[in-house]
Structure 1
Amino acid sequence: MRNKFLVILSIIMQFLAVGTAMAQNNKIKIPDIPGFYTLKGDFHMHTVFSDGHVWPTFRVNEALRDGMDVIAITEHMDYEGFPEEIERDYNKSYEIALEAASKKGLMVIRGVEISPRVPPYHHNAIFLEDANSFPMGYMENTHKQFVMKDSLTREQLMAPFLEAKKQDAFVSYNHPSFKWWDKKDTLLFTDFHHELLEKGILKGVEVVNSGRYNIIAHRMAMKYNLTLLCNTDEHYDMYPRYADTHRPMTLVFAKEKSIAGIKEAMEAKRTALYFGDYLVARKKEALALFNSSVSFNAVKQDRGGEPIVVVTIKNKSDLLFNIQIKSKFDIEEFPLGQLELGANEEKKLILKAVWKYPETTYLNITVGNFLVSPDEALNLDLELPILEE
């Protein structure tokens, strides 16, 4: 009875905490891109139904507070944190969250985390029909500890992935190179992963986990053409960690605002990652998001007899962009053409030594905090017509 009382008391305290956090406006405005809705998602979280420490409704309230469009609760299928208090049921957290999110504009996806401590390591499977049907023959004990059998077979380790394929799940490789992995095992994309790739099971990789960028995972995504993902992997109350910033999120560019639309977009690799002040995407999606967020306008101006061009740069989003601009004309005030364009901010860029007005001007723009590969920031060329003042 005492244990159950403590669980109930913990849940009450969590509701009070999220109520206080709701007073903060953490909702991020991010524009749609041509042909697609921009949906904010978090596809890796835990509750008391595995090794998390909050009730599923808490995850829903956090997501509503943060203006999220979709979440997936992905309990470890092979770990029970509170076996005396909570009956093993890996569909239950989804069902509770789904009911809590009903008619509130938040979509909830059924998921599970497959989590052996040996290759192929941790993976999420989402868009499931039944999270309880995943076999875990490689486990010896799941009660408050994670104990695998002494003798493991490849068939035992492959079995849950074959179940994921049977359910047409979207499977992603979680946090490659996590700290508890065998330090002797430096080959993180193993032959097991190659087999998952060949079978059409492995589709994504978590490039950002808990706000931490993983360059190894980013290189994997580019090399093996995997969908880029950014998740919190939160086990506790999310608010203390992200009190001074936004939560990490995957931006999904979907044709429609539905679970089916999100799945189609993820399988088509139309995602971007937003964490801290950084963005990561493939170049096509990066260009579309930047062009939907930032506008440029060039106007002739006579400044006491000096011909100049005034370029107005306007950010229509809540994103921050670190920009470097190059022009054949001199740029006034901003050394090396570098400027920070904050959320919904407008800045004026003066092009000097114009002397004779051209009809258009060309700008080369590098967005330093928007990565299109592990080694390259977004770069684009703009041709702007020069308008009359």
Structure 2
Amino acid sequence: MKANDLQPQPGWTLARRAERMNPSVIREILKVTERPGIISFAGGLPSPLTFPVEAFRAACEQVLSEDGRGALQYAASEGYGPLREAVAALLPWNVDPAQVLITTGSQQGLDLVAKVLVDHGSRVLVETPTYLGALQAFAPMEPEVTGVASDAEGVDLADLARRRAGARFLYVLSNFQNPTGRTMSEARRQALVQTARELALPLVEDNPYGELWFDAPPPPPLAARYPEGTIYLGSFSKVLSPGLRLGYMVAPPEILPKLLQAKQAADLHSPSFNQRLVAEVLRDGFLERHVPTIRALYKAQRDAMLEALAREMRGLDVQWNAPDGGMFLWARLPAGMDAVQVLPHAVERGVAFVPGSPFYADAADARTLRLSFVTATREQIDAGIAALAATLRDLATR
């Protein structure tokens, strides 16, 4: 017998909030897609073809030669001043750089919102369906997350009024929403802001996809119309690189100090070297030249998927939308099918997707699924949609 065998073993006791933490369904599915030969429409990853490697190579040299030691040192929790100024200048309304907080990805922004605004039992309103990562960020704070009915134009305002009582905020993705790809219409934005003002309801607007429009830019953000009542989240992940882990928040002055304190407790500051890199890349209007190339690529891939769906799903009673931008489209299987149950059969045929159920705060539509079109080639899209259609036809005859 070893001496260690006589020692009591540590008794780890999890906090109650830890019990509410769940693995990302998408990350678990991505493990399956790593198998050779799987065509994946599952991930929410931007295409690596869009990453501006040469621009960042030049920026690295410039940042290190200008002030390498400063770039490698600790920095202000609010973020690198020139980057905050650049973010404020990019936004389509008058933003004071002092209202900008640089975050470690916009996902951290959701975490900070949850820590600062949500108590145990607090009511939080979300669209139906909504971004899975937001549900994960809110869950440890033990809120009552309530889905608000939504249609192709956005949040159903009548249902919002019914569910408003006691809510801390409404979380919305106004442009090319994850998971559905839908965009809130101009009329609905105006009406939502009017309703939010009447109800004194704060909004949390998440806009990581807003620059990825195909034919015309979306309407101005909710934050531009209701700045005193909106926390706005943005990201550099979809237009530059997710590996940088840089996003930002724009918050009303009365709430920003608490968000800053929550960030200080989390990570002191986002990577200072990465912030300087992005500020350097942005300095000469790079995004104005770069983002159109992303839009063109993603539009071609969206069109390829729409064409494949129209061709392969004929006669199957499958429904889908045609997003005006972003990275995803939303589909609904025939009556009686469950996307969770369909997935393993699809993987057997070499194609993967994300079932829609995890994106719902409450009653889920089991027939829904999300398809990402941005990381697959046209050939892969054709083959993958054909494989999915074959899977559905096979299941329909069982």
**TM-score of Structure 1 vs Structure 2, range by shorter chain:** under 0.3
Greater share of strand residues, 1 or 2? 1
Higher helix share: 2
Return the structure number with greater relative CO, CA threshold 8 A, min gap 6.
2
- TM-score, reference length from structure 2: 0.24
